[in-house]
Every structure is written in structure tokens, then in C-alpha cells.
Chain A
Amino acid sequence: MAETAPDTSFTNQDFKIIGTRPPRPDGVDKVTGRAKYGADAFAAGQLTALILRSPHAHAKILSIDTKRAEKLKGVKAVVTCEDLPDLTGGNRGMLDILENCMARGRALYDGHAVAAVAAIDAETAKKALKLIKVKYEVLPHVTDVDEAMKKKAPIIQPHIRTTGVDPKPKKASNVAARSQFGHGDIEAGFAAADVIVEESYKTEQTHQGYIEPHACLASVGPDGQGELWVTTQGHFVFRNTCAALLGMEVAKLKVTSSEIGGGFGGKTHVWMEPVALALSRKANRPVKLTMSREEVFRASGPTSSTSIDIKIGATRDGRICAASAELRYQGGAFPGIWGMLGAMTTWACYDLENCQSVAFDVLVNRPKSAAYRAPSAPMAAFAVESTIDLVAAKLGMDPVDFRILNAAKEGTRASYGPTYGPIGIGPTLEAVKNHPHMKAPLGPNQGRGMACGFWFNFGGQTCTDINVGVDGTVSLTVGTMDVGGSRASLSLIAAEELGIPYERVKCNVADTASLGHNDMTEGSRGTFSSGMATIFAARDVVKVLRNRAAAMWEIDVDDVAWEDGQAVAKGIAHSNLSPLSLADIARKSPTTGGPIAGHNETVADGAGVSFASHICDVEVDPETGATKVIRYTVVQDAGKAIHPDYVEGQFQGAAAQGIGWALNEEYIYGEDGRLQNPGFLDYRIPVCSDLPFIDTEILEIPNPGHPYGVRGVGETSIVPPLAAIGNAVSNAAGVRLNHVPMSPPRILKAINAAK
């Protein structure tokens, strides 16, 4: 009979170590340069690989001639799609991944991989790329989401028929899916409104902007066994995907994740790793493949650009009586779920009787979109939260009070369906209302804005080991990549459960051969899910420790308790027995049963949704349209902050990325469908001098589905900044910007138009 799964309910226990702020275990390595990232992997005899990419936004590939490249001295392998046959067995999603890694008879965007070379050095590989002759038949292209939906738009994927419409279409379309969410009677709701505001918005495509480009080292032997060292948010998922695409057995491909120099969702997908493995298999040598920054922009996974219509109706007493949205998200050249996610999050902050969101997932000739921190929610929130301010103004209400009046609460039916349990949107709004930032004076050309945001969070498959050393130190082995300090948080959890100092725990991220499957570090799940597995693995260790103490004392295990990090013999009969520490028991482990270990494998469902409210002050130069963020405050519900430094770090990082998105960042395509700004000089992410210190306030409304009350914290705070800045710019400059980024030319144009 299967053992009953542990109870994951919130227990409101008292903590000794959780909530403290010790230094992270990877800190010294990272500041001294000793930490190994994707491009630091090295193997004897390794080759250097480069990828030839399409210069066209949309083209038929008539032929690829690799003969001259193959004959070049120093070239050890050249691959095209011929070397990556379709082994997906009709799984269209997997075939899309394969086709995105290497074009199959057609190039679908500027930068689409067409062929790849492995050579003894980069110079030879570069020469070889020039010797590959590709004949294209250039096709009409489309890069704008609204243009792609028009009837006469060039069709990007002829097999696509729009899903979610009845009857199912017979003709191909660039609209891959229509999704609808909501409840109530929208028409009746608007009929009851005293005030209605309708606005349309656009947001441009942005990239996650991680500083470390994609990089890997692949090694496949003639026996079919292979290894991959890679920067990724999920090496177990990469292993499964690469093995399936290359026809390898999962257990024979070992994947080791490097330290990660940022991912934010962009490293949840394979972009080139199957190509590196194919090259290595063909060359029978290890192959190193690293993207340049230009390749990262052109051929990894930025977020969608969008076009959104919002309509909100409210009664004179300040209640929203109807809310509807139509959202159009482009997902690049392959179908995605980005519009659907946008629609699910659109109205999530509010308690609405009548609401509706309809989304269209649209294909364009751009790189395949990927997740970017709370994927799709920031764009929807920009549109909603900007309109909310307009409705409040029309009603003559304070925008914070208007939001508080309409905020979702426990028992509210979420716009995407289920009923909320305990949630934090109301408390974050109250905290904003009472924050000193809201009362601080503003100077000339300055304005203040605020906005709210929501993200689901989730858990997933997780596996964790704990091994106790003979000296009483503890090795904690997890399979979720550490993207933001989770090794410190998980070490705190292990130390808390075992009753030992934090410094006695060392947390490692295992390779795929050393631990059971772990899902990606995405959806703000790292500390939530691996934390849950660590709690139960540690409790498993405690069971062993009690048994060993009983053996040492030669008493019944039922007479042994674990209290404050030591075994205690219960009862007057054992009062002569001094408590045994974990180190005491570990020292004797060779003669009491051998190694002391604990383990847990779980599907960590029960994640708690998360809300944030942000305040922002900006100064807009009326002569140039340039905007400076002069003060910024994040208030977010963390459920329970295990390590507050890294919770605050997530809040600040997400806000910083949102500020860049709001003010500067934008993919710019030319008439020829080619990306014009694939580099950090022309695609400008914020640097320290662009940002004020971002203040944070952590709220702790416990998640009932986690023993410590933890909610994910990594994503939610990228959701409010676009709208918070839009509202602040509006208050500073007297013009409403409905197009992100709110770059100086756009703001100046709006100011001049308003004169």
C-alpha cells in the first residue's frame, strides 16, 4: 500500500531561522569570478560551433549546399535539418521546437537557424559559414500583430486553423487560438453603468535581457551516450526534450546546469542545444555553442508585442459594474498560449460581477515568443490599470480608494474561474494608501502613479535529497535551478527543520543523473516547491536520526523525541540519558546502520496566487520627453519570506525590468522584416544610474497550501510597473500614453499634440 502523502497545509509554526538574512552560499564565487556559467564549460578536444541564420523574415529554402564548407580544413561537422529528422511521432508541439531550432524548408523569421558548423576554432567556423550556399525564395512577411490578423496577411503556418471558434475554420489563419474567460452579463453590466471608459493600447516586444547569452557544451559518443552542460532554468526538461528530438534514451543523456546569468523565462526553452548535440554526434567530438548577443535578440524567445482594447463601466458609487477586454498577442512564428494567459490575468485583481476577456494568439514573422516573468500579465495590466485610473478620474475618486473598493478578496470569483482563498490584493492596496511615499511632496514636472498586478504562481514535479555527513554537516541536493537565491532559502529551511545552524547546510543543484525529475524553475516555483520537498526530506532525516539515537541508547524509538535539533529520551526511565545532537548521531552512523539520508519526491500543487501594488514618481522633461523615475516602492504579498533579502531582490529586479519595458525597451523591425536593434546599444535596458533605490514592503498573508505559508515571489512585481509609470507620466505631463515603451519621442509627440 502506498504511503500517504504528507500534509502540506499551513501550520503557523514558530520559526527560529526562517526569516533571517545570512549570506548566500554562491555569493563569494559570483563576486570573485569563480562561478561557472554556461560558456565556462570546457572539454578536451572541444570544437567551436556557429549557426548560419536566415537574413529573411519569411522565405522558402530552395536548397542548402554545404559541400564547400565540409571540405574546409578544420571543419568537423556541418548539420542542417537533414541531420535532425522528425522523430516526434506526430507531436506538433515537439515538431515546432525542432523546426525553431533548425529551419525545415522555410525560414520563418529573421535569424531562424538554417545550418550549423563545428570546427576546430571560431575563425574556421566563421569561414565555413560563408561557404554554405542557401537559395531562398523570399515570401511576403508580417511582423505586426494587428496586420497579421487581416484577411490578406501572408500566412505563416499553413496547417494552423484557429481553435476556440465554432464552427472550426477550414482555412488557414495566423490566428492560432481564440480564448475567452469571464462571467456574468456584460451587456446588462454596461447598461447599468453611469460612467464608461474605452481605450486601446499597444505594447512593443521586449526581451528578458539576461546578461548571460545562451551557451552549452555537448558531447555525444558513438555508443549513443551523451552529456550536455548548459545554462538553463530546467536541465531535467532540457534533457527530456533533447533526448526526444535526437532519438536518445533519457537515462543516457546527462545534463548539468551551470550557474545562470539570468533567465526570467527565456531559458525555459531549448533554442540551440539539440543542434549542438547533433553536431557533436556527427563530429564525435565535444562541441561548444554560444550565442552572440545579436543571436540572443534575433533567435531566442522575447515576449509578445500586443494590441489591447479595454472597456470599463462603473456606477456613481464607485463600483465597477462591467469590464471587457479584447487582447491580441503575437507569439512569433509558432503558436503559443500568451494571449490566453493575458486574458486569464486581465481582471484578476478585481471583484467583478460582470467581466469578460477575449484573447487572440497570433503568428507573425518574429522569433518564437517565450515566457517573460509573469508572462503576458504586464501588458494586460498596463491596459487595465491605465483605464482604471481614467475611470476613477471620471468619477472624481482617488485611484487607490477606487481600487480598494473594487479589489478582489477571499471568496471573490476570479475572472479566470475559481474562487479565491485568502489573498493579498486588499492588504497591498491598504499598505500603499498608508505608505509615506504617497504623502511625499512632488516637484515641478513630476507626477505620481500607482498600479496593481497579479500572477498565479505554481508548483510542479520536485525531488530532493538530504545526506548527513559524519561530521554532522548536511548536504541538501535539489533539482530546481537557483535563479535568485533559492539555495540560501532552501538551506534555511533544512536548517530550521533539523535544528542546526544555517552554516552547517550546503545546498547543491544536482545533475539529471543524480536526482529524480524536477520541473523548470519557472512560475515562481523554486522556493515554493523545492522548499516543500526540503521540509519533508528533512523530516525523513529526523525519522532516521530518532531510530539511530534509539539504537545508540538501546531503547524503543517511540521513546525518542526530536527537539531543538537533538534527540531526547522521553520518560523518567531514560532521564539518565543526555540528549544527542545531530553531529553526535552522525559520528556514530557507520555502526548504527550506515549513511543517514532523507528524500522526498512530490508534485507541489497548491501554490498561492500573488498580488502586488506599486507606487512610482517620475519627472518628465517637457522639452525632450525624457522620463526619469525618481522614486519607486513595491508592496507585495510573499506568503512567508523565507530569506527576506532575496524576496526583496526579486521585488526590485522585477520592478527594474518593468521600468525598462515601460520606458525604453522595444524590438524595432524594418520594412524588410529584419530586426534593427539586436544589441544593448540600441536596445537599452536600464542600468543603475537610470534607477532610484527601489523600496520594498513585504506582506505575509500565508498560503494555506504550504506548511510555512510560502507563495512564489519572483514574477508578480513585473506586472504593475508599465501601468504605474504610465499613470505617473500622465500625472506629470498631462498626457496619457497608451503605447509602451513611453520613449522620449512618443511622450514629446503626445505633449506637442496636447498643446
Chain B
Amino acid sequence: MLEVNVSGVLRDAVNGAASLQVEAATIRELLRKLLERYPRLNDHMETGIAVAIDGVIYRDTWSEPIPQDAEVFLLPRLEGG
């Protein structure tokens, strides 16, 4: 079971939770299960969500495996110049 830390800007979509327990082996599975549980996250999917696994931010590699002891953060997607 993963502990998923939720960044402040996304918390309103998960009923204010700072962290969630989710069983998932990849980013794709994690996001699918979170969307099933919290449909309001869909509002943020339009602008994008990124997932940080052990400090590395993944924006699009949804096939990335998540080690079960990993530090996982749900973050908003970034823009750069």
C-alpha cells in the first residue's frame, strides 16, 4: 500500500486529505484509482498532474513503476519559460 502525499493545491479535490493510502504499482494505476475515488481530481487533470517518486517528478511517464516503499507526492503540473 502506497502512502500518497497530496500537494496543497490538489487537496480540495480529495476532501482535504494531506495523504492517502492507495494500492498501485504504476503511475497509471495510481491516477486511475484516485480518479475513481475522487472524481473532482478530474478538474485538475485538464491542467495536469505530476507525480514525484522518491524526489523525481514525472509529468507524462504513466507507465513508471512505483516501489511500494517509495515517497510519493501528487503535484500540480509545472510550466517553464
Q: Does B3 contact A (CB under 8 A)?
A: no
Chain A nearest Cβ from B71, distance in angstroms: 6
A524 to B80, Cβ gap below 8 A? yes
Return chain A residues, CB-CB under 8 Å to B56.
Answer: 418, 421, 605-606, 705
Q: Who on chain B is nearest to A167 by CB?
A: B12
B57 to A268, Cβ gap below 8 A? no
Q: Does B64 contact A (CB under 8 A)?
A: yes
A576-632 contacts to B, CB under 8 A, are 603, 605-607
Q: Does A364 contact B (CB under 8 A)?
A: no
A696-754 contacts to B, CB under 8 A, are 705, 714-715
In whole angstroms, what is the CA distance A460 to B9 when docked?
22
The one of A417, A421, A460 in contact with B7, judged by C-beta atoms closer than 8 angstroms, is A417
Contact pattern, A 448-476, Cβ under 8 Å of B = 1, otherwise 0: 00000001111111000000000000000
A163 to B7, Cβ gap below 8 A? no
Q: Does A52 contact B (CB under 8 A)?
A: no
Return chain B residues, CB-CB under 8 Å to A289.
Answer: none
A522 to B79, Cβ gap below 8 A? yes
In whole angstroms, what is the CA distance A523 to B8 when docked?
22
A371 to B81, Cβ gap below 8 A? yes
In whole angstroms, what is the CA distance A340 to B12 when docked?
15
In whole angstroms, what is the CA distance A705 to B53 when docked?
12
Chain B nearest Cβ from A334, distance in angstroms: 13
A458 to B59, Cβ gap below 8 A? yes
Return chain B residues, CB-CB under 8 Å to A165.
Answer: 12
B80 to A371, Cβ gap below 8 A? yes
A418 to B55, Cβ gap below 8 A? yes
Instruction: With A166-B16, A418-B73, A456-B57 as known contacts, state yes or no: A375 contacts B8, CB within 8 Å.
Output: no
- Listed stretches A150-158, A173-181, A436-444, A677-685; interface member: A173-181
Number of interface residues of A (CB under 8 A): 54
Chain B nearest Cβ from A195, distance in angstroms: 27
Instruction: With A418-B57, A461-B60 as known contacts, state yes or no: A180 contacts B8, CB within 8 Å.
Output: yes
B1-43 contacts to A, CB under 8 A, are 5, 7-9, 11-12, 16, 43
B71 to A418, Cβ gap below 8 A? yes
A168 to B80, Cβ gap below 8 A? no
In whole angstroms, what is the CA distance A179 to B55 when docked?
20
In whole angstroms, what is the CA distance A456 to B55 when docked?
11
Chain B nearest Cβ from A712, distance in angstroms: 8
Q: Does A553 contact B (CB under 8 A)?
A: no
In whole angstroms, what is the CA distance A372 to B81 when docked?
5
In whole angstroms, what is the CA distance A93 to B45 when docked?
12
Return chain A residues, CB-CB under 8 Å to B7.
Answer: 181, 416-417
Chain B nearest Cβ from A368, distance in angstroms: 13
Q: Who on chain B is nearest to A338 by CB?
A: B79
For the complex of A and B, list the 6 residue pairs with the smallest distance between their C-beta atoms, beginning with the closest.
A265-B81, A523-B80, A180-B8, A371-B81, A418-B52, A179-B9
User: What are 14 A-B contacts defined by CB distance under 8 Å?
Assistant: A165-B12, A182-B8, A268-B81, A337-B76, A337-B79, A371-B81, A374-B80, A375-B80, A416-B7, A418-B73, A418-B75, A522-B81, A523-B78, A603-B59
Chain B residues with a Cβ under 8 A of chain A: 5, 7-9, 11-12, 16, 43, 46-47, 52, 54-61, 63-64, 71, 73, 75-76, 78-81
Excluding A181-B9, A418-B52, A715-B80, 16 further A-B contacts by CB distance (< 8 Å) are A163-B43, A177-B9, A182-B8, A337-B47, A337-B76, A341-B78, A418-B54, A418-B55, A421-B56, A456-B57, A456-B78, A458-B59, A459-B59, A522-B81, A523-B81, A524-B80
